[in-house]
């Protein structure tokens, strides 16, 4: 095996564990050692418990020795974004508001990873309450991009992307409301999958915008994304928006369905603001699919220009409602300065939330207020329907869509001080959330500065199996995913 243990895939490692060439304890120790070596420079973790990880690894080895190994994830170190609840562990959302909050229960995805035997390793940094595109809005620390430590890893799941790219975990989970899995995956050069809304339970995920939020994996390969999705997908009665649908064998689908597919290129995704190097890399990927026999057609998603506006009305409206619970009394930071109970609410929220979160709560409260509700919130919901219809009518012609994931490679920390400049990072990812669709991002090249570029494949609702197969077809012909940053 060529790569160091911390850069191997779930598929490779689980085969080695199965053959008895490796123990979970040895693998976990390698990941812990790598983390100790690089984490002072990367800053991907909010908290981590080495002793706990090693205990889980020992339990995995004991299971295996007794002939009771649980499957591909058994014994594999997997990191979780710090908005996914793990019982008896800190759960901070990278906010002062929840700095000392310990979760009393497991999220459904956590429970499923535990029953698959995964070694849960650390809580990963993010933009506070998942609001941002650079992980600079974290109250903990900014996370660095492993490919260039002076650059951001993207966000909001920047810790999940950076930890994987740096070899500090074998796979991670993040959450995606407007691009928060895909954009950091693109900027850090790893694979990810944002599932169809309703495929993965949101129970135990700290809510940002409930009609948009989905949990999904970051992995080194498409095959690993299939393995992770297999473990976390499926109906959950504790999430009322969870969908009852048959879960196929995602890994088998990688080789079963070979295409050739009919792929659409939405012309609105290749206009102004697209970095020329990103555009060129995506064009090469399109050319590759054409060479493989796929039919490539131009399609139009005419309401694309309204995606950002609709998103920043709907997401902030839902956030203002979801974040009302952090009042310093039932949950969250409690101010010591308050003079009376009303002042206690004011002071606790003023001290607990960062600037971007406050901006969103104020905006969201405004668009929901009487007199403005129809003009903003209701109208944004109607626009959302049009955006979804754009995608669904494109799917009458094509199997999937190809776009860039992010308009640019990673940018320098501090380079985007204006909130609007940051909001534009999600211009190619937000429509997918508004329409509730699945999408994959995978590496498709590097900029002249050596920074990763990501390709986005957008699929039809609940067609993850086919989407994974389309992604795997690209990955088989390229070796971008085998490159690792020099740290």
- Of all residues in the shown chain, the one whose CB is closest to ligand GLN is 180
Nearer to ligand GLN, 167 or 195 (CB): 195
Nearer to ligand GLN, 156 or 304 (CB): 156
370 included as an active-site residue:
no
Assigned token pair, 356 = 């971007």
- Name the nearest CA neighbour of 257 among 463, 462, 442: 463
Question: Shortest distance, CB of residue 177 to ligand GLN, whole angstroms?
Answer: 3
Question: Shortest distance, CB of residue 297 to ligand GLN, whole angstroms?
Answer: 29
36 included as an active-site residue:
no
Nearer to ligand GLN, 74 or 426 (CB): 426
Question: Shortest distance, CB of residue 149 to ligand GLN, whole angstroms?
Answer: 22
Q: How many CA atoms lie within 13 A of 158 on its CB side?
A: 37
95 CB neighbour count, 10 Å cutoff: 28
Radius of gyration, CA atoms only, the chain: 21
Question: Shortest distance, CB of residue 379 to ligand GLN, whole angstroms?
Answer: 19
Which of the residues 180, 185, 186, 441 is marked catalytic? 180
Sheet holding 295-299, edge to edge: 45-47, 119-124, 77-81, 171-176, 214-219, 191-194, 439-446, 452-458, 400-404, 262-266, 295-299
Angle between helices 222-232 and 10-18 (to 10 degrees): 70
CB 221 within 8 A of CB 254: no
Question: Shortest distance, CB of residue 3 to ligand GLN, whole angstroms?
Answer: 30
Nearer to ligand GLN, 10 or 357 (CB): 357
Which of the residues 72, 81, 157, 194 is marked catalytic? 81
Q: What are phi and psi of 293, to 5 degrees?
A: 100, 5
Which of the residues 24, 103, 156, 175 is marked catalytic? 156
Nearer to ligand GLN, 170 or 215 (CB): 215
The 3-state DSSP class for residue 138 equals: coil
CB 121 within 8 A of CB 55: no
156 included as an active-site residue:
yes
Residues interacting with ligand GLN, by CB under 6 A? 130-133, 156, 176-180, 208, 315, 426
Residues assigned a catalytic role = 81, 156, 180
């Amino acid at each position: 095996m060529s790569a160091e243990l911390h850069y191997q895939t779930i598929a490779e490692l689980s085969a080695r564990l199965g053959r008895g060439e490796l123990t979970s304890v040895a693998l976990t120790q390698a990941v812990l050692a790598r983390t100790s070596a690089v984490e002072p420079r990367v800053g991907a973790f909010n908290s981590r418990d080495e002793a706990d990880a090693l205990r889980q690894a020992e339990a995995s080895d004991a299971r295996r020795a007794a002939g009771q190994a649980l499957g591909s994830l058994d014994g594999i170190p997997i990191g979780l974004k710090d908005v996914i609840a793990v019982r008896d562990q800190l759960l901070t959302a990278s906010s002062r508001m929840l700095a000392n909050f310990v979760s009393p229960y497991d999220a459904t995805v956590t429970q499923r990873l535990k029953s698959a035997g995964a070694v849960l390793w650390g809580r990963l940094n993010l933009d506070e309450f998942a609001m941002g595109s650079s992980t600079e809005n974290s109250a903990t620390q900014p996370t660095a991009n492993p490919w260039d430590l002076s650059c951001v890893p993207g966000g909001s799941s920047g810790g999940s992307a950076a930890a994987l790219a740096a070899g500090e975990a074998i796979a991670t989970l993040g959450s995606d409301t407007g691009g928060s899995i895909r954009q950091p995956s693109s900027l850090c050069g790893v694979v990810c999958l944002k599932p169809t809304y309703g495929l993965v339970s949101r129970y135990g995920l700290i809510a940002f915008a409930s009609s948009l939020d989905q949990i999904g994996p970051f992995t080194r390969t498409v095959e690993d994304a299939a393995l992770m999705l297999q473990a976390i997908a499926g109906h959950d009665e504790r999430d009322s928006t969870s969908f009852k649908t048959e879960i196929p064998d995602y890994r088998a689908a990688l080789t079963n369905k070979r295409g050739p597919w009919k792929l659409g290129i939405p012309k609105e995704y290749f206009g102004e603001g697209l970095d020329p190097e990103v555009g060129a890399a995506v064009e090469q990927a399109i050319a590759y699919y054409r060479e493989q026999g796929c039919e490539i057609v131009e399609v139009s998603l005419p309401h694309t220009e309204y995606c950002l506006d609709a998103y920043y009305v709907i997401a902030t409206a839902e956030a203002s409602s979801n974040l009302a619970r952090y009042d310093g009394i039932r949950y969250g930071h409690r101010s010591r300065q308050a003079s009376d109970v009303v002042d206690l609410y004011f002071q606790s929220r003023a001290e607990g939330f960062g600037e971007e979160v406050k901006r969103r709560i104020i905006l969201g409260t405004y668009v929901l207020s009487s007199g403005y509700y129809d003009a903003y919130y209701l109208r944004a919901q109607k626009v959302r329907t049009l955006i979804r219809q754009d995608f669904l009518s494109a799917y009458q012609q094509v199997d999937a869509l190809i776009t860039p994931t992010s308009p640019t490679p990673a940018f320098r920390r501090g380079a985007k001080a204006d909130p609007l400049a940051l909001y534009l990072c999600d211009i190619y990812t937000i429509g997918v959330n508004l329409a509730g669709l699945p999408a994959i991002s995978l590496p498709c090249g590097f900029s002249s500065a050596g920074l990763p570029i990501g390709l986005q494949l957008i699929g039809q609702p609940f067609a993850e199996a086919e989407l994974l197969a389309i992604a795997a077809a690209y990955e088989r012909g390229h070796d971008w995913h085998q490159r690792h940053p020099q740290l």
